[in-house]
Amino acid sequence: MDEWLPFLHPLWQGVGLALGFAALREGLVLRQQRRQRRHTTGHGTRQARHIRLGKASWWMLASGYLLGIAELLWVRGEPVMRSAHFYFATLAFGLLCWGVLYGLAMQYSTSNYAARRDLHGFLLPLALMIMVVVALLGLSLLP
């Protein structure tokens, strides 16, 4: 059973990243529609899908971050802060949470909406791109 445990964290994070890129795709379509000033009849549905995918991605990535730390400590018995993977993952997770907070603020308040939308649209793609680098750094840690 212990043979597959080191691969649980990378697989879990891979699913979270895939959901994140799906949410990014939906968000980019929403931005394109907004800039072209054409709100189609499916705009609300697309926005709901963007939110649903984003929340699922956040939960997967947040739990995967904690899973990675737990796996290193209890399964592999290795120090957590021994690689650049941990530091860049923490940076990416912080940016992800910051961007998610702007997304939640847009959902529940209309004040300063444009500034929040711009920061949300900057922080989350940046976090996803850093997470791709983190995944590449993590390849060297696999058994």
The one-digit pLDDT tens for each residue of the chain (143 residues) are 567 877 889 999 999 999 999 999 999 999 998 888 776 777 789 999 999 999 999 999 999 999 999 888 887 788 888 889 999 999 999 999 999 999 999 999 888 888 999 999 999 999 999 999 999 999 988 87
Q: Where are the beta strands (DSSP E) in the chain?
A: none
Compute, in degrees rounded to 10, the torsion defined by CA atoms 130, 136, 139, 141.
-40
> CB atoms < 10 A from the CB of 49, how many?
17
* pLDDT value for 1: 56
- Please calculate the CA angle 138-136-30 and round it to the nearest 5 degrees: 115
Cα–Cα nearest to 24, from 126, 95, 110: 126
In this predicted structure, what is the pLDDT of residue 84? Answer: 92
Output the pLDDT for position 25.
97
Is residue 138 a contact partner of residue 16, using CB atoms and an 8 Å limit?
no
- The pLDDT of residue 71 is 87
Give pLDDT, residue 38: 75
